[in-house]
A = this chain, B = another copy of it.
């Protein structure tokens, strides 16, 4: 498969290069960038053994013939580019948010303006492969990192009717790479190191994505309060979700079983007995889940971890592309993390 990446200069773009270089079926023929077009890959991503590759353009018209395109573009940029490429017959996996939501109403609520191609919103598959079927489509909207972490942990419990989807409170912590490769005072080492801060309180755009996925999967309305936090590490997310049990006497074993049976046979989601350390997932496409009953309050706590740039972005995009192309979903993806 001749493969292109548009937006190869960012963090997720760099991870896509790394995974696809090691992929047996996908062959990189084009790396696009915007301001860094024309730069050697090795100077933009000095951790990649770049050889002599040079970044080209993000312009879809400047692409060589390709079968598969990954888009890792700033918000809004893939609405046109993704549509053009997909309408033209390329298979497209978009890591951006432009086609994740399923209706213009939800899009307006999240982004405060209408979608440029609202009629296309239903055409894209929400690319969370353990919960949505990615095999029969050419258009995949790859989920955000926080929604992936959260939905993997909550969806089986909502679907099984074990928790009340109107009572969900999600708090998450993320490594700094989740914010992308941005030059801003708030992302300096001197600002980040040795401190933690909440952000986007009450207004983070990943909340509607969480509610949509839970509603699509369960057919019931979900109501999520979502508060993300930035912590001093490069990668990794832990999302801790609390919700009221429908039956307060539900045992922990029942909850663990619901999670385990939902992901049986899937290589990348593992349910464990202890709260997962995000480090155990870094550099792999693994998601780790656990759940506990908070007995005095009759609530459940689900805690989930993954690498925001792998299972939360580039790895999951490759996983979805594998399925779209009838390959084993773990082709070319790391299943081991690394420590220390």
* Stretch in A80-88, A133-141, A296-304 touching the partner: A296-304
**What are 11 inter-chain pairs, A to B, with CB distance below 8 A?**
A46-B339, A49-B336, A183-B188, A190-B340, A193-B232, A194-B233, A194-B234, A196-B236, A197-B238, A223-B297, A232-B233
Question: A45 contacts the other chain (Cβ, under 8 Å)?
Answer: yes
Within the complex, the shortest CB–CB distance from A41 to chain B, in Å, comes to 11
* Stretch in A27-35, A96-104, A275-283 touching the partner: A275-283
Closest to A11 in B: B340
Q: A15-B338, A187-B190 are in contact. List 8 more A-B contacts (CB 8 A).
A: A14-B339, A171-B171, A177-B190, A189-B189, A193-B233, A197-B238, A198-B238, A198-B301
Within the complex, the shortest CB–CB distance from A340 to chain B, in Å, comes to 4
By Cβ-Cβ distance, the 3 closest A-B pairs, closest first, are A195-B279, A190-B340, A171-B171
Within the complex, the shortest CB–CB distance from A235 to chain B, in Å, comes to 7
Question: A37 contacts the other chain (Cβ, under 8 Å)?
Answer: no
Question: A185 contacts the other chain (Cβ, under 8 Å)?
Answer: yes
The residue in A21, A45, A188 that gathers the most chain B C-beta atoms within 10 A of its C-beta is: A188
Q: Which of B187, B282, B299 contacts A47 (CB 8 A)?
A: B282
Question: A192 contacts the other chain (Cβ, under 8 Å)?
Answer: yes
Asked if B202 contacts A232 (CB within 8 A), the reply is no
Closest to A177 in B: B340
Known contacts A196-B231, A225-B294, A232-B189: does B276 contact A339 (CB below 8 Å)? no
Known contacts A198-B240, A275-B198: does B46 contact A193 (CB below 8 Å)? no
Within the complex, the shortest CB–CB distance from A337 to chain B, in Å, comes to 4
Within the complex, the shortest CB–CB distance from A135 to chain B, in Å, comes to 23
Closest to A299 in B: B225
Q: A1-46: which residues lie under 8 A (CB-CB) from chain B?
A: 11, 14-15, 17-18, 21-22, 45-46
Q: Mark A193-211, 1 if CB is under 8 A from B, else 0.
A: 1111111011000010000
CA distance A207 to B242 in the complex (A): 15
CA distance A277 to B231 in the complex (A): 10
Question: A286 contacts the other chain (Cβ, under 8 Å)?
Answer: yes
Given the complex, which residues of B lie within 8 Å of A184, measured CB to CB? 183
CA distance A242 to B224 in the complex (A): 11
CA distance A193 to B15 in the complex (A): 18
Within the complex, the shortest CB–CB distance from A129 to chain B, in Å, comes to 17
Question: A263 contacts the other chain (Cβ, under 8 Å)?
Answer: no
Question: A260 contacts the other chain (Cβ, under 8 Å)?
Answer: no
Question: A191 contacts the other chain (Cβ, under 8 Å)?
Answer: yes
The residue in A48, A279, A280, A281 that gathers the most chain B C-beta atoms within 10 A of its C-beta is: A279
